[in-house]
Structure 1
Amino acid sequence: MGENNVKEIKCSSVEDFIHKISYNGELYGLRSNKYIYRGESSDEYKLIPSALREQNHEDLVNLVKTYFPTFKYKNDNSESFQMVAEYISLHLFYMYCDYRGLHIPNTNDFRHKLIGKVNIDDILYNKSTWLPSEYIEIAGLAQHYGVYTRLLDWSRNINVALYFAVSGLMNFDESEKPENIVLWVLNTTVLNTVEKDHDGIILSIPEYAGNPNLCAQKGVFSLYSIKSYYKTDHAEFFDNNDKIVKPLDEIIKEEINSGNEEPILYKILIPTPQNYELYNYLCNEGYDASLIFPGFEGTSKTLKENLYWSNQKQKNKQ
């Protein structure tokens, strides 16, 4: 339907990318408030949210077995099982945050079930889509602190996205570093924002007040919302068949007919920095860990990252 919806751009070097994205460069037009950005430290990573990634599936299975042992299922890879696992994750996150007096969005399905019996079947039966709109705020908060959800993190600031792409390289051994890092750029003007429940790709900007990290990172979430057939006429298919997992770029290609001549999503490949040049570029722009993670944590991370890239510079001189 929309092969032209996604455009891949390969830069020949870090310097080539910086030139293209800077003022009067051919990619400078992508620095606009109609775009949001996501940085990945490897071109092998797919745009699949954490709750749907294969490597996290066993954790979700064990979560359901531990906290909802009476749940009967035929296929632990089905959409219905996935909904139950995600609901339990969010319910537990909400419950523990509330118990410790942390500020969380008021969500009736969780607020009214902090004590007493929780009948997940009754709760999920009434959902027309997954995630429902009333869960997105709490899911965004949970996602930000490592809970598996079906949200994808984006930023309204291009340099924040580049920072995450560059900082993630510290997690690779030298021999395993990818060929490219990736900057994803998404045009928001053809997508819906959260107003009511509907399926498809929707965007949500969480409240920044009270969350200094999220504010500093100018976070945005995307959600590919699916129709829920939990306990309906289609329940047998929903229960027995494997859930459908697709990267966001494939969904955009296959399901969106925008009528726009320009792409909806850009995939910009940047050769993996072997030196400090891209990190130095970001620091000169004022974007390092001390900005991205306000407080003592960010300051400590900045010292570690400065040392890492200083060592990289020395290695390349040898």
Structure 2
Amino acid sequence: MKEINHEGFVELIVSYEEFIELIRPDNKEKLSSYIGAANHKLIYRGQSDSNHLLIPSLFRDVFEYSSFTNTFNDLCFCQFAHLKSFVAGCDTNAVAIPNDSYEFREKYLADYNSSAAYDSRSWPDKALYELLGFAQHYGYPTELLDWSYSPLVASYFAASGVISNRESSLDSYMSVWVFDLEKKNLLNDHRRTNFEVINIPRSLNLNISSQQGCFTLVRQDINRNQKITYADKRIQEMRLLPDLMAEKRQNGLLKLTISNKNSLEILEFCDSYSINAASLFRGPYGAAQYAIEGINKNRFASKNSLSIKGSIPL
């Protein structure tokens, strides 16, 4: 095990055996000791590329093409306009959106609230959380970042992302991030919210229920006249969770990094706890993903001369 101290978080580069020992659901005490999580209240996020930062999808290069996203307020306006198109798409397909009512649409979806131009922390409105979470779980880019209360769910998403990417290399690494929920309040100022953990009702979103999911939101603190710039597939001015941890000098964010060589073993371990595509994605879509995942496993194993549960790939 190799420990590296970064600005805002600690990274552990681990072997497969060390990784399993740390993410086992019955062994939170050992994992918690690395970030001072006294009460073992943790959330987890899996990423198939260890080089990727904790960047919400909206803050990547979604609107890089647009000449109307020069400031944070511009970005929020574009987000609002396209969120309305998501709602229109739901209407076309007779899909119910969270909190839907005439009053909700008139108050929060009829017109853009330009308060973000004066106070960047005001966006997004809390009334939109459920809609944003619903949209995110169906692929729409938002300011929210997906996490899970289950270390196995996060591990599954990291490993499945590796085997589904035909460009994945055994020389690269995936990661599972761990955050201590007890540190949440220490990231906020008196009467000023910098960071939120969002648990939305799950009745309209079976996926988030199956995945034991939640979201985090880092509220931005940007001057109304400051320009935003796109570089390296992200908006450079957006404050991320490690930035906030470093700013507040808090210890409570950990990154477990493990070789792609172990992705099939990790998926097998998760499957032994019934964590797989069929259990995490409901309905026919989950069944299809489960079958596709089998194809991806065999392709990955064949490409890299690996075995699957002691067998050669089909």
- Relative to the length of structure 2, the TM-score reads 0.77
In the alignment, the residues of structure 2 paired with residue 90 and residue 151 of structure 1 have an alpha-carbon distance, to the nearest angstrom, of 13
Change beyond 3 A, Cα 1:273–1:224? same
CA deviations over 1:89-140 (Å, ceiling 9, x no partner) = 222223432454322223788611799xx55366766976111212222111
1:182 equivalent in structure 2: 175
Q: Which runs of 5+ in 1 are unaligned?
A: 66-72, 229-233
Count, aligned residues = 286
Are 2:280 and 1:292 equivalent residues in the alignment? yes
1:19 equivalent in structure 2: 21
Corresponding letter in the other structure for 2:181 = T
1:220 equivalent in structure 2: 214
Change beyond 3 A, Cα 1:9–1:246? same
Identity of aligned residues (%): 26
Corresponding letter in the other structure for 2:112 = I
Corresponding letter in the other structure for 1:57 = F
Contact 1:206/1:219, CA 8 A, preserved across alignment: no
2:294 equivalent in structure 1: 306
Offset of 1:87 from its aligned partner? Answer: 1.2
Offset of 1:29 from its aligned partner? Answer: 4.3
2:11 equivalent in structure 1: 8
Corresponding letter in the other structure for 1:45 = H
2:87 to 94, 102, 105: 94
In the alignment, the residues of structure 2 paired with residue 7 and residue 167 of structure 1 have an alpha-carbon distance, to the nearest angstrom, of 24
- Output aligned runs, 1:170-209, within 5 Å: 170-173=163-166, 176=169, 179-192=172-185, 198-209=192-203
Corresponding letter in the other structure for 1:289 = A
In the alignment, the residues of structure 1 paired with residue 47 and residue 214 of structure 2 have an alpha-carbon distance, to the nearest angstrom, of 16
In the alignment, the residues of structure 1 paired with residue 130 and residue 182 of structure 2 have an alpha-carbon distance, to the nearest angstrom, of 21
In the alignment, the residues of structure 2 paired with residue 275 and residue 221 of structure 1 have an alpha-carbon distance, to the nearest angstrom, of 25
2:232 equivalent in structure 1: none
Corresponding letter in the other structure for 1:282 = C
Corresponding letter in the other structure for 1:215 = S
1:316 equivalent in structure 2: 306
2:46 equivalent in structure 1: 39
Change beyond 3 A, Cα 1:198–1:87? farther
Corresponding letter in the other structure for 2:63 = H
Aligned Cα RMSD in Å? 3.5
1:83 equivalent in structure 2: 76
Contact 1:163/1:282, CA 8 A, preserved across alignment: yes
- Output aligned runs, 1:229-244, within 5 Å: 235=224, 237-238=225-226, 240=227, 242=229, 244=237
User: What is the DSSP-based 3-state SS (H/G/I as helix, E as strand, rest coil) of the residue aligned with 2:219?
Assistant: strand
Contact 1:43/1:178, CA 8 A, preserved across alignment: no
Corresponding letter in the other structure for 1:154 = W
1:231 equivalent in structure 2: none
1:120 to 102, 112, 116: 112
Change beyond 3 A, Cα 1:225–1:176? same
User: What is the DSSP-based 3-state SS (H/G/I as helix, E as strand, rest coil) of the residue aligned with 1:58?
Assistant: coil
1:132 equivalent in structure 2: 125
- Output aligned runs, 1:58-69, within 5 Å: 58=64, 61=66
User: What is the DSSP-based 3-state SS (H/G/I as helix, E as strand, rest coil) of the residue aligned with 1:37?
Assistant: strand
Offset of 1:308 from its aligned partner? Answer: 3.0
